[in-house]
Amino acid sequence: MPLPRSVEFGQGSLALNKAFHAGFSGNHDERLDAAFERFLARLDYRCGGIRRMQHDAPAGAAALLTIQVAGPGQAVQGVDEDESYKLNVTAQQATLTAATDVGAMRGFETFLQLVSMQDGACRLPAVAIDDAPRFRWRGLLVDVVRHFEPVDEVERTVDAMAIAKLNVFHWHLSDDEGFRAESKKFPKLTETASGGQFYTQEQMREVVAYARARGIRVLPEFDMPGHSTSEVLAYSEIGSGEDLKDLHLVYDGPRAELDPSNEKTYKFIDAFVGEMAEIFPDEYYHIGGDETEGKAWLANPRIKAFMDKKGFKTTAELQTYFNQRLLPILAKHHKKVVGWDEILTPGLPKDIMIQSWRGVESLSTGATQGYTGILSAPYYLDAQKTSEQMFLDDVIPADSKLTPDQQKLILGGEICMWAEQLNPVTIDSRIWPRSMAIAERFWSPQSDRDVPDMYRRLRVASLELEEVGLHHFFGPKMLRRSLAGSADPEGLDTLAAVIEPISFGDREDAQHTDSYTSLNRLVDAVVADPPARREIADEVDAVINGHGSDRAAAAMSLRRGFESWQAAGPHLQVLCQRSGRLADAADRVRQFGQLANVGLEALAYMEAHTTPPAGWADQQVAIITDAQKPSALVKFVFLPDLEKLVKAVSAH
């Protein structure tokens, strides 16, 4: 996962546990050597004995795995880096060939995913894989402003991206709520506007090197002219007259904007971009550009006079002027501009790139005008959508009206993880494993739309993510132990398995999170799209439409689940009474027990082949409807299927 573009299985399998030895045929550099060592370490973890066999292999020993790479690739990885590879496995040996280091790294990941323990040995199936990505730009945006993430968490995210074959780490480093990048030319950016939480220049270089070692580019984002409250707080002379006293910690607080009429603003940007260009070598530089309201511009007599002099009727025209001034500055530092939808205005050259948070239609509009672009709108993780929904949302839908040449301008997509409602404990479980499904959409052929198979592979891939240190299992479990005050929060685990967080917008409406919000409640201890959602759906379908042993097994599994919900109820009620952090979950706990009764009664009627009394179905549907109402910032994931079961019973 992601699914390769071409897979042909052969006969037999290759066993790795007998005199394993791997080596290169031809040239290889230090970057590839380091990637090879990481590959061997993970293979050793999976199989055991691999590194010892590799070490003990005599000189000239025949290689069980041969790696052939034509060359290292670009000195600074770019959009056009060749990531293709071929992996051929027979019962006797395996060969991995690639044009570049990055292609070989992608092949290492596929090799590891094919390994399984069978008949007492680690084996790979005989297979011929010819693989390359569908899209050149496959990114993950991580916001470290609203809640800061330490370097080890950032690097852990990069490790997971490598498994998913993502290739752009979009580092959102500035916004209204803080500035997270050290500037030696403008030290007040972090002295005044970071709250003491920022990355030193040495740390940023470390992350760039860490990502490059894994075939991943780093795209920095420094927002301008809007979302610039932190910059204006530090250097008021480039602001638009806003009176700022403190760091903007409340997410809906007043915003400041850079002054497009002031030459000092452009001198500041020139110096700052030049400084950051020495740290971030990628050819692209993200300027944000979104949600610039321009209220301060209109309220400032000097800026309003500037607009009148230039003949600008709207703040959008003033922002276009700002962007036109910005482009030669970035070009001077050998950077191309990336910005959100709002920068797409007449008068800007075609070498800017649009990142669309508005959707496919907006992205297509840019392509028809000759602009390159990437799509993010369907891939906002804080919307808490299922893996299935995001997997099926294509960057270029099958019914797209774009011409083939216009489609080539759409380079790919980016997953977005905004940080208003996450912290270092919860970030892994908010990003992973759902991002694996989106990464497959970016890499694999458009025809890859088999949802059940995607989920089957996602379960396995999720375990592989844990091998590189991700806490997507551990983080929520740790929070549940804290909530329960117990090392074994069995009842809370039972509830958590069948609920998920509500969306970002719904949570903001109900809770109004900010930098001071304690993210330690039930909603933070559960994950979006838990496996139980599909498991229950499949079991209900088997009970209604299945036959024989399959139907009986599904009914037994459902019954055990409903009984476990019942058993958890009394303990959960005690926890809600005892803990202030769980007090708001009391209604959900009550509903949990009621829904268990609904399920058990439905199964009893179905298995007894009897018709429920008049009004029974309406009573059960009323209970299900009540459980659909907002409560505790979480929602049950199985309600449609439970209602389907009730209606099937009443229809018999």
Q: 8, 237, 291, 490: which one is catalytic?
A: 291
| Partners of 170 in beta bridges | 141, 219
Location of structure tokens 């790479």: 69
Are 432 and 467 in contact, with CB atoms under 8 Å apart? no
Token readout for 369 is: 């005008």
Token readout for 358 is: 């508005």
Rounded Cα gap, residues 461 and 79, in angstroms? 26
Please indicate whether residue 361 is annotated as part of the active site: no
Neighbours of 540 (CB within 10 A): 23
Helix %, strand %, coil % of the chain (to 5): 50, 15, 35
Question: Which ranges of 473-547 does DSSP label H, i.e. alpha helix?
Answer: 474-484, 490-496, 504-511, 531-545
**SS3 category, 372:** strand
Which residues have CB under 8 Å from 345's CB, separation 6+? 316, 319, 320, 323
Q: What would you measure as the largest C-alpha separation in the chain, in angstroms? A: 84
Location of structure tokens 């490790």: 159
Rounded Cα gap, residues 63 and 43, in angstroms? 16
Are 110 and 86 in contact, with CB atoms under 8 Å apart? no
| Partners of 340 in beta bridges | 355
**SS3 category, 332:** helix
DSSP state of 380: B
**CA-to-CA dists, residue 231 to 224, 235, 240, 256, 258, angstroms:** 9, 6, 12, 9, 8
Neighbours of 456 (CB within 10 A): 12
Question: Which ranges of 68-200 does DSSP label H, i.e. alpha helix?
Answer: 101-114, 151-163, 188-191
Rounded Cα gap, residues 604 and 223, in angstroms? 59
Q: Which residue, 42, 48, 158, 50, is CA-closest to 110?
A: 42
Which residues have CB under 8 Å from 570's CB, separation 6+? none
Distance of CA 233 to the CA centre of its chain: 31
Are 623 and 598 in contact, with CB atoms under 8 Å apart? yes
Which residues have CB under 8 Å from 363's CB, separation 6+? 354, 356, 373, 374, 375, 377, 410
Are 348 and 320 in contact, with CB atoms under 8 Å apart? yes
**SS3 category, 48:** coil
Rounded Cα gap, residues 356 and 368, in angstroms? 14
Give me the phi and psi of 175, to 5 degrees please: -170, -175
Rounded Cα gap, residues 251 and 177, in angstroms? 7
Rounded Cα gap, residues 84 and 68, in angstroms? 13
Radius of gyration of the chain (CA): 27
Token readout for 646 is: 């009730």
Positions marked catalytic: 291
